[in-house]
Structure 1
Amino acid sequence: MRNFIVRAVTGILFVIILLGAILYKPLSFAVLFAVITGFTLIEFYRLVKEKEETTVNYITDLAGGIYLFIAVFIAASGSDISHGRLFSPYLLYLLYTFIAQLYAKRPDPIRNWANTLLGQIYIALPFSLLSLIAFKHGDYNAWGLASFFIFIWLNDTGAYLIGCTFGKHRLFERISPKKSWEGFFGGMGFCLLSAYVLSLFFTFLSPLQWLGFGLTVCISATFGDLCESLLKRTIHVKDSGNVLPGHGGMLDRFDSVLLASPAAVIYLIFIA
């Protein structure tokens, strides 16, 4: 019971802080998610370092990932800074990542390159793409971004409730034995229902586009969850960290986002 209370309180505070930062103003969203990007990168690099004895330069790798988030945010917000100048520092970071291994004299530079760049692609890039969702229609669209997270949370909630009640057919037993097809479709139902409700209040997407947005987030978020489960199974850990009492680490909490944000951006660009 005590663990349930801790988990519930943490979850409520988590939702309040995230929605508050997103809905308040663009700067509060940018500051919060720059911090989240940094913490999630720390967890990821710590995990791969312990498993594969990868050499990690936390200062440059965290700076690179956070800078990518900030650069995409500035570019998406319509800044007059040329994109070439804006992203040049990140390109320098990538050059440094490769060149540094020439002087590091480590036994496996390929593994170091691979894990360093995987952190940038798997963690920093998806968080950076959230800005493209927020500024999809030019001005900052707080509810466009908030709805993305609402879909993810309701998908998790629906999958848990329906899966616990009716789940019999395993969705991906090799990776996540507790997930069921019943839970997957339950989460999808919650997403589609919330998409319909949002379409009644916000008209920057048509009702059909809202349903497509919810469906896209639901499916890609499920794959994001499964991919993080595969990562943890490979490394043999239960949680990525303990920064969120009752919920594990940042990577555990944002695993769905890491695949859902690229999928959502693709959907919004080409469909909506």
Structure 2
Amino acid sequence: MSDKVKNLIVRAITGALFVAIMVAGFLRPHYMVVLFAVITGMSLWEYTGLVNEIKGVRINRFISTVAGVYFFLAIAGHRLGFVEGFSIFVPYILTIIYLFVSELYLKNENPINNWAYTMLGQMYLTLPFSMINILAFQTNERGEIMIDMLLPLSIFIFLWTNDTGAYCCGSLFGKHKLFPRISPKKSWEGSIGGGL
């Protein structure tokens, strides 16, 4: 069996397990909140680890991750009606202020870069994951909470379909590199196949 076939089988099995876990999460709203809180935390932990490998950059991995998970859970609690008002976001804001102020006293090489990378993680990872709560938990005109898991699940289905199409078409027909400097294995054929 060739390496390409082995890679395809491993990807298919991993993808099927991932899809099963995600779909099960969308069937139970509270499980979905816990699942995506964990995904948010793991994503931020990975992001901060990668960023800290850049020369001259040092961000607080633990506090950035905890702040992001807290923000996700605060949005979920607010949308599910567990918490009224916006006071639940005060600890998050205070944590971000702490990260900014502490940077001034740590004597790191470039505190502005550290601030920028900290906020990029919050905006690039935490905010989009938190918006899943906005899509899933709606309030009707009578003030009742409506749980609609179909909309956020459909976004993931479209993403998975695009990725699968791009991978299959790129593996079979890919000859023209899309962005060789950024992602050397991506091809125009794969990109078009994903779109289709």
Both proteins in one fold, TM over 0.5: yes
Distance 2:171 2:17 in 1: 24
Residue in 2 that maps onto 1:145: 152
Matched, 1:9 2:13: yes
More strand by share: 2
SS at match of 1:177: strand
More helix by share: 1
Distance 1:180 1:137 in 2: 43
SS at match of 2:53: helix
Structure with the bigger RCO (C-alpha within 8 Å, sep 6+) is 1
User: Identity rate of aligned residues, in percent?
Assistant: 47
Select the residue among 64, 69, 73 that pairs with 1:70. 73
Q: What is the letter of the counterpart of residue 188 of structure 2?
A: W
Q: What is the letter of the counterpart of residue 86 of structure 1?
A: I
Matched, 1:34 2:41: no
The 1:48/1:80 distance shift into structure 2, 3 A limit, reads: closer
Residues 154-185 of structure 1, C-alpha deviations (whole Å, 9 max, x = no match): 00111122223333443333322332333222
Distance 2:176 2:60 in 1: 44
Q: Report deviation, 1:78.
A: 4.2
- The TM-score normalised by the length of structure 2 is 0.85
SS at match of 2:109: coil
SS at match of 1:106: coil
**CA RMSD between the two structures:** 2.0
Residue in 2 that maps onto 1:160: 167
In terms of Rg, which structure is larger? 2
Q: How many residues align?
A: 187
Q: Report deviation, 1:128.
A: 0.9
Distance 1:104 1:34 in 2: 29
Q: Which runs of 5+ in 2 are unaligned?
A: 141-145
SS at match of 1:52: coil
Comparing 167-176 with 117-126, greater Cα deviation is found at 167-176
Q: Which runs of 5+ in 1 are unaligned?
A: 190-272
- The TM-score normalised by the length of structure 1 is 0.63
Q: Report deviation, 1:136.
A: 5.1
